[in-house]
């Protein structure tokens, strides 16, 4: 005769393990990716094809991601290396430059339309 108590404990353990995976995996995966949305400051629509780059120790910029056609972006946190500033750039908009910590805490970025090749401080439009 089979030991039904041992079988029920085995199924209970497998069921608890499956439930734990369903709870832990979705929460744990958000720790690996930083996500957000880039919007036009005046019209609030999504700004697509925004280049997201991080400043390197030699002063150059390394692209770490970009936004899709609707302004959504996802950047693997492993690509964000400590200390450098983050720049969001798109032709026809002023650059948005922020510290790495601010970038990792921000999920909504507003971009001001304008000429980013005017020779002015490209990270801030006049009057900002």
> How large is the C-alpha radius of gyration of the chain?
22
Quote helix, strand, coil % in the chain, to nearest 5: 25, 30, 40
Using the structure block, give the residue that is written with the tokens 């970025």.
Answer: 109
Structure tokens at 66: 């970009």
pTM over 0.75, yes/no = no
State which fold the 33-111 domain adopts.
Immunoglobulin-like (2.60.40)
pLDDT tens for each residue of 36-91: 999 999 988 999 999 999 999 888 999 999 999 999 999 998 888 877 899 999 99
pLDDT tens for each residue of 88-110: 999 999 999 999 999 999 999 99
What sign does the CA torsion over 102, 77, 57, 66 have? negative
Model confidence at 14, in pLDDT bands (50, 70, 90)? confident
């Amino acid at each position: 005769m089979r030991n039904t108590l041992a079988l029920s404990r085995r199924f209970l353990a497998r069921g608890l393990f499956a439930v734990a995976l369903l709870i832990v995996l979705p929460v744990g995966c958000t720790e690996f990716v930083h996500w957000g949305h880039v919007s036009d400051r005046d019209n609030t629509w999504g700004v697509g094809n925004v280049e997201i780059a991080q400043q390197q120790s030699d002063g150059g910029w390394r692209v770490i991601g970009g936004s899709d056609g609707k302004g959504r972006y996802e950047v693997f946190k492993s690509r964000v290396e400590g200390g450098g500033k983050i720049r969001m750039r798109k032709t026809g908009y002023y650059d948005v430059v922020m510290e790495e910590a601010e970038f990792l805490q921000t999920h909504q970025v507003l971009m001001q339309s304008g000429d980013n090749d005017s020779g002015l401080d490209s990270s801030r439009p006049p009057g900002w």
